[in-house]
Amino acid sequence: MKWPLLLALAACGDPPPMTLKFTITQGDVQSCVSSTGTKAATCSDVTMLCDSYVSIRIFAPGDPTAPFVSACKPLAEGTTHKTLCSIAQVDLPAPANPVKAQTLEVDMAVYAKDKLAVNAMGEIECPAAKFGADDFPVAATEPCTDPDPAICPPDPAVGGRAFYHPGDTETLVTLGCTNLAALEDRMCAGQSSLAVTASVNDFDTAVSVSPATADGLLVSVGEPTFNGNLGEFELKPTQAHPLDRATVGPVPSWQGDFNVMLTSSACLEVLEDGAATTPSLTCTNNIAPNPLDLPGIRLSQASLAQILTAIGKTSLPQQGLVVGIALDANGAPAAGVTIVPSSGTTTIKYLNATRTGLVSGATSAGGVWVSEDAPYPTVFTPSGVQVIAQPGFGGLVHGKVDIVVIQQKPNGTGG
């Protein structure tokens, strides 16, 4: 789908005028992630927590220092729900001078407002972005440490480049997300930190771990990121922020307060003290609340070994494993639930009630299912349940077990 900008740039009266439109890349290079953690299909899927500005420059490719149009405009400033679609609301100025019929370069880049410099007149200034052969912005290879944006201009969060040729009926700019995290920094929205609270249930009982078990758990929060060298998502120790055990309440809980920037998801990691234990993750794509309340799952080594044996494995696959469980409204395992992953190539395996082998079609009385190939992030939608159940979220993370719990809601309501 294409979204038009309100611009008609006549080339010295030669028809047709220049009509500028934009779209979101559907490729894998600089792809944009929606608020649900999946690849963005439209501009409305790309949300922006921060106030932001768009830079639009139109110039002859041989003379980028003398643009015919140069605009630095706010995007939906002051609104609570900002998306990239707001680019279509920008009014562009007419060119200062007549433009002869020629090839023109069109550069578009979006920046977080708080990263931009202000000139002596108090006006926001957008830097000129650099673009690669793929027509997406090129991020700086050398870190610039000066906090003054006039000295160290920011890389675009989103951007794209296209070319107009005389006679074109429209010029389409395909936008890629170079650094979308820059538009999701909580500090720009006046949230200096993210408060996190957490609880941990046992996978086998679906109730809170005991205080004695909780004493041996290390609980942290973080967001998996893609490692191009591995070709996998991973959650490094440096990306995981440890939570402190809360001292009040009969049910064990954890809490923390961090200056952490989440892009599109958050995972609670639970690691049990002891040799050869495997960390388990429970992830969500609902990261807007502050404080963020995250449920975690403790999966015992005995249960993990049982599940691995059932799928013919002797150890955890290097790329990780997704282990899911379907529960009814009372927290008991639910049979007859089919899991539909958002990734069409993902396979789901269902364990029998004793976790000694596999069954086909849907969960058994044990409610357990697994996936060895669900990419992070994947949305897992339950089918065949008689009452409402929210989809699960997660996917493979290197060296970890991702636990996806899908629980039915009472009486078919959202409560």
> Between β-strands 368-371 and 349-351, what pairing exists: parallel, antiparallel or unpaired?
antiparallel
Task: Give pLDDT tens digits along the chain (415 positions).
Answer: 455 554 555 544 554 567 889 999 999 889 987 765 567 888 988 888 788 999 999 999 988 888 988 999 999 876 667 889 999 988 888 887 778 888 999 999 999 998 898 888 888 999 999 999 999 999 766 667 666 776 788 889 999 999 999 888 889 999 999 988 788 766 665 555 778 999 999 999 999 999 999 999 999 999 998 888 888 999 988 889 999 998 767 889 999 988 776 778 899 999 998 766 889 999 998 887 778 899 999 999 999 999 999 999 999 999 999 999 999 988 899 999 999 998 888 999 999 999 999 999 999 999 999 999 999 989 999 987 665 678 899 999 999 999 999 998 776 444 4
The three-state secondary structure class of 17 is strand
Structure tokens at 415: 């409560």
Distance CA 137, CA 142 (A): 15
Q: Check: pTM over 0.85? Answer yes or no.
A: no
> Which class for 205: exposed (0-12), middle (13-18), buried (19 or more C-beta within 10 A)?
exposed
Question: Going from the N-terminus, what domains does the chain have, and what CATH number goes with each?
Answer: 3-188 (no CATH), 193-412 (2.60.40.1110)
Structure tokens at 353: 């009630």
